């Protein structure tokens, strides 16, 4: 490839001279105006002989594309003519071949058809889905509980999408069956299973929006673990805003007798994990200030468990955003005792299928965490369905003679026993 300046009277005549001297493969890199003339910076392979240029012009783009005899590639100008693009050639030759014109038309028509087809396919499918759901819901309107259920939906702030999903799922319910009961059964059947917290895993991250209760949940977990194995669990306060965040965590740790360590950066966190992971169980409270670090943390600590913490009255948009942004080991639900239990938790759990694990229902820091199951969430639906469904017996009131089913329940039993002595 050679670079050469060419002084010309005008760009148009200059480009004709470039094609004459160097062929169609020459590329205009730069134009400089000097008085009434122009200097063109040209990139070219080499000047072609008159016979070479003449032979080249006698072949059409299609012939050169299909023929492997002369191994002459299509120029940018010729490709532009077929695809409809326009690049550096200002005055490309006319495309006279009927075959090439046909290729150009086919490319244009097929591209247009493909775009229209894709749009219409999606639209048709959406219309079909809407029509199917509309038919199912019309049949449901004759049920004696329909008006009451709809009123409860309106009062409880359910999203329109989740309402449609539930009503479509309830289609065909017999008149003698309770729609509220069937709603609870349908939701429970779609909820993910409970994932037991693996305490053999030494590193757990708790993350979520501002004020969801992840800090208090981390300390409650540490209390229960340390009741079984004193001093094993440590809370790490990971926050770029150490002034306020660390002060609150330090006060809470001193009050509860739980060791707390500050990490103001990813480097600080990595050092703490390296120094303590072999002998301790680390509960990392990820500040909302560092929410954008979660992806990087998951890449750095790829064997750790990452838990999304959300309150029972969570905002739908924020919870959906967090649930979709990262891969989560489990969803921990706080404020299970809230009187304003919302549909958002159910909708996000069904959409994301993030496993359930544990949660909290008592505002006291000394209160134990509880295992959250689909059956328990089904029982809590009475808060959003007008106290129609009797809630399941809660874990904390289980008889001392009952055998605990999970690690966290075993820790809870040890803690209750210790408190009695």
Residues of the chain above pLDDT 90, percent: 32
Higher-pLDDT residue of 14 and 134 is 14
Alpha helices by DSSP H, listed for 141-178, are: 146-156, 160-170
Q: Which residue has the higher pLDDT, 349 or 84?
A: 349
Span 373-402, average pLDDT: 57
SS3 85: coil
User: What ranges in 91-142 are assigned the alpha helix state H?
Assistant: 98-140
pLDDT at 87: 47
Average of per-residue pLDDT across 57-80: 49
Lowest model confidence (mean pLDDT) among 30-39, 73-82, 231-240, 247-256? 73-82
- Higher pLDDT, residue 143 or 226: 226
147 pLDDT band (50/70/90 cuts)? confident
User: Considering only CA atoms, which of 146, 140, 151, 162 is closest in space to residue 342?
Assistant: 162
- Give the C-alpha distances (Å, rounded to integers) separating 58 from 33, 81, 82, 216, 327: 35, 17, 18, 82, 61
Q: Does the pLDDT value for residue 417 go beyond 50?
A: no
With tokens 């208090």, the residue in question is: 216
In angstroms, what is the C-alpha Rg of the chain? 35
Query: Residue 299, Cβ neighbours under 10 Å: how many?
Result: 8
Query: Coil, helix or strand for 291?
Result: helix
305-339 pLDDT, tens per residue?
999 999 998 989 989 999 998 999 999 999 988 87
- The torsion angles phi and psi of 270, rounded to 5 degrees, stand at -60, -40
Q: Is 368 helix (H, G, I), strand (E, B) or coil?
A: coil
Do the beta carbons of residue 228 and residue 414 sit within 8 Å?
yes
Judged against a pLDDT cut of 70, whether residue 155 lies above it is answered with yes
Of 359, 368, 372, nearest in space to 405 by CA = 372
Per-residue pLDDT tens digits for 100-119: 565 556 556 655 655 555 55
Contact indicator for 280, 201 with CB cutoff of 8 Å:
no
DSSP structure string for 185-215? HHHHHHSPPB----TTS-EEEEE-STTSSHH
* Whole-number pLDDT of residue 68: 40
Contact 261, 228 (CB under 8 A): no
Locate 340 and state its tokens. 């304003």
Give me the mean pLDDT over the 86-111 stretch: 54
Residue 289 — pLDDT band, cuts 50, 70, 90? low
Pairing of strands 281-286, 203-207: parallel
Do 235 and 257 form a contact (C-beta atoms < 8 A)?
no
Residues 196/200/203/206 CA torsion (nearest 10 deg): 20
* 417 CB burial (10 A radius; 0-12, 13-18, 19+): exposed
Q: pLDDT exceeding 70 applies to what percent of the chain?
A: 67
| Predicted structure pTM score | 0.62
Using 50, 70 and 90 to split pLDDT, how confident is the model at 42?
A: confident
- pLDDT value, residue 255: 92
Report pLDDT digits (tens) over 246-261.
888 899 999 999 999 9
At 145, the pLDDT band (50, 70, 90 cuts) reads: confident
CATH fold of 203-420, please? Rossmann fold (3.40.50)
Q: Does residue 382 have a pLDDT over 90? A: no
Q: Residue 385: is its pLDDT beyond 90?
A: no
Please state, as a whole number, how many other Cβ atoms lie within 10 Å of the Cβ of residue 47. 14
User: Per-residue pLDDT averaged across 43-67, rounded?
Assistant: 54
For tokens 């319910």, what's the residue? 173
User: Measuring CA to CA, which residue among 334, 70, 137 is closest to residue 219?
Assistant: 334
**pLDDT value for 70:** 43
For the cut 70, the answer to whether the pLDDT of residue 123 exceeds it is no
Average pLDDT over residues 142-170: 85
- Between CA 289 and CA 294, with CA 293 as vertex, the angle to 5 degrees is 110
Domain boundaries, the chain: 2-91, 104-177, 203-420
- List all residues 6 or more positions away from 417 whose beta carbon is below 8 Å from its beta carbon: 400
> What confidence category does residue 71 fall into, taking pLDDT thresholds of 50, 70 and 90?
very low
Beta bridge partners of 282: 203, 234
Q: What is the pLDDT of residue 400?
A: 37
Helices (H), 277-359: 294-300, 316-325, 344-352
What is the C-alpha separation between 58 and 317, in angstroms, rounded?
A: 65
pLDDT at 89: 44
Give the span between the Cα atoms of 287 and 171, in whole angstroms. Answer: 44
- Helix, strand and coil content of the chain, in percent to the nearest 5, comes to 50, 15, 35
Beta strands at 281-286 and 260-263: parallel, antiparallel or unpaired: unpaired
- When mean pLDDT is compared across 64-68, 181-185, 227-231, the lowest value belongs to 64-68
CB 187 within 8 A of CB 378: yes
- C-alpha span between 104 and 101 (Å, rounded): 5
211 pLDDT band (50/70/90 cuts)? confident
Give the mean pLDDT of the chain: 76
CA distances from 118 to 33, 125, 130 (A): 48, 11, 18
Alpha-carbon distance 180 to 385, whole Å?
Answer: 7
| Whether pLDDT at 409 is above 80 | no
* Nearest of 364, 421, 414, 406 to residue 227 by alpha carbon: 414
CA distance 298 to 289: 17
């Amino acid at each position: 490839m050679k670079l050469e300046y060419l002084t010309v009277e005008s760009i148009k005549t200059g480009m004709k001279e470039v094609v004459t001297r160097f062929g169609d493969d020459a590329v205009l890199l730069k134009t400089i105006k000097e008085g009434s003339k122009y200097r063109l910076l040209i990139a070219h392979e080499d000047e072609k002989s008159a016979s070479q240029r003449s032979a080249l012009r006698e072949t059409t783009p299609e012939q050169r594309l299909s023929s492997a005899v002369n191994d002459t590639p299509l120029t940018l100008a010729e490709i532009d003519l077929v695809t409809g693009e326009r690049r550096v050639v200002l005055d490309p030759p006319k495309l006279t071949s009927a075959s090439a014109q046909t290729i150009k038309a086919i490319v244009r028509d097929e591209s247009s058809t493909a775009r229209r087809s894709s749009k219409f396919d999606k639209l048709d499918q959406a219309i079909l889905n809407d029509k199917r759901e509309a038919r199912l819901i019309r049949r449901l309107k004759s049920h004696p509980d329909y008006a009451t259920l709809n009123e409860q939906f309106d009062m409880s702030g359910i999203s329109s999408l989740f309402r449609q999903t539930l009503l479509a799922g309830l289609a065909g319910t017999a008149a003698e069956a309770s729609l509220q009961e069937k709603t609870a059964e349908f939701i429970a059947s779609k909820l993910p299973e409970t994932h037991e917290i693996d305490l053999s895993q030494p590193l757990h991250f708790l993350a979520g929006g501002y004020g969801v209760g992840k800090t208090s949940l981390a300390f409650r977990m540490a209390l229960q673990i340390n009741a079984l194995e004193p001093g094993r669990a440590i809370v790490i306060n990971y926050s770029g805003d150490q002034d306020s965040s660390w002060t609150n965590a330090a006060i809470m740790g001193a009050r509860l007798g739980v060791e707390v360590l500050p990490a103001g950066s990813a480097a600080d966190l990595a050092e703490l994990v390296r120094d303590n992971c072999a002998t301790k169980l680390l509960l990392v409270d990820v500040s909302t200030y560092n929410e954008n670090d979660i992806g990087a943390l998951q890449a750095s600590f790829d064997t750790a468990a990452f838990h999304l913490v959300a309150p029972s009255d969570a905002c739908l948009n924020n919870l959906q955003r967090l649930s979709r942004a990262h891969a989560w080991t489990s969803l921990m639900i706080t404020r299970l005792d809230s009187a304003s239990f919302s549909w958002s938790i159910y909708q996000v759990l069904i959409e994301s299928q993030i496993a359930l694990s544990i949660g909290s229902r008592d505002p006291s820091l000394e209160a134990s965490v509880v295992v959250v199951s689909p059956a328990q969430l089904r029982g809590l639906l009475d808060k959003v369905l007008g106290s129609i469904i009797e809630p399941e017996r809660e874990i904390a009131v289980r008889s001392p003679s009952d055998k605990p089913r999970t690690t966290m329940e075993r820790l809870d039993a040890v803690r209750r026993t210790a408190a009695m002595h």
